[in-house]
Chain A
Amino acid sequence: DQQVKQNSPSLSVQEGRISILNCDYTNSMFDYFLWYKKYPAEGPTFLISISSIKDKNEDGRFTVFLNKSAKHLSLHIVPSQPGDSAVYFCAAHPNFGNEKLTFGTGTRLTIIP
């Protein structure tokens, strides 16, 4: 049972445009969400997180939006740069005190120069 879903396995975006990566979850107990970026032959790297008490968190070119009622979050990258080409994973924590992260299957983002 995939509790965190990234339904788009791949996405191509023109350099300079906005990249929007989506993530849906089914477990209503999830209350903390993270995005990771992964280059080939490297481990995932933490990008940005959001707590369920917020609906938006911004860090430079990266913004994460959370819609709790829809159980949906998205990562916006603007403007997109060639170095953003990577696989992006969303991940979620269950209720407070549970340290287990559940990851989505990832979306491969390709930025076209």
Chain B
Amino acid sequence: DAGVIQSPRHEVTEMGQEVTLRCKPISGHDYLFWYRQTMMRGLELLIYFNNNVPIDDSGMPEDRFSAKMPNASFSTLKIQPSEPRDSAVYFCASSLGWQGANYFGQGTRLTVV
């Protein structure tokens, strides 16, 4: 298996623009997680899905953030409008079962200028 695939790897955008990050989880995994890593806050969970259904979005920082999982093989994280403080590395991860280890993608480095 190719592992968790995220795109794009790098994104530079201007403040106020919409940003969409994409993720393809490992086939057969039933959990999908979106994380954000910053120097100040480390690695924090934003939202996770089980069988394509959002379970907990309490980590989503603001209404500007939204995530969808239209099917078992694809998820998006959207920021609209983007702000400079959203600059971070965003990771997608998937797992099999609730106690399964999270398998992470390579991340998307987002820079908002």
Binding site for B on A (CB under 8 A): 32, 34, 36, 41-46, 49, 89, 93, 97-106
Q: How many A-B residue pairs have CB under 8 A?
A: 49
User: Which B62-108 residues have a C-beta within 8 angstroms of A?
Assistant: 91, 93, 95, 98-99, 101-107
A103: chain B residues at CB < 8 Å are: 42-44
Are B98 and A45 in touch, CB under 8 angstroms? no
Are B101 and A99 in touch, CB under 8 angstroms? no
Any chain A CB within 8 A of the CB of B113?
no
A104 to chain B, nearest CB (A): 7
Any chain A CB within 8 A of the CB of B26?
no
Q: Which 4 A-B pairs have the closest CB atoms?
A: A43-B104, A46-B101, A103-B43, A105-B42
Are B101 and A49 in touch, CB under 8 angstroms? yes
Nearest A residue to B93 by beta-carbon distance?
A43
- 13 residue pairs from A and B, CB less than 8 Å apart: A32-B99, A43-B91, A43-B104, A43-B105, A43-B107, A46-B101, A46-B103, A97-B98, A99-B98, A100-B48, A100-B56, A101-B33, A106-B43
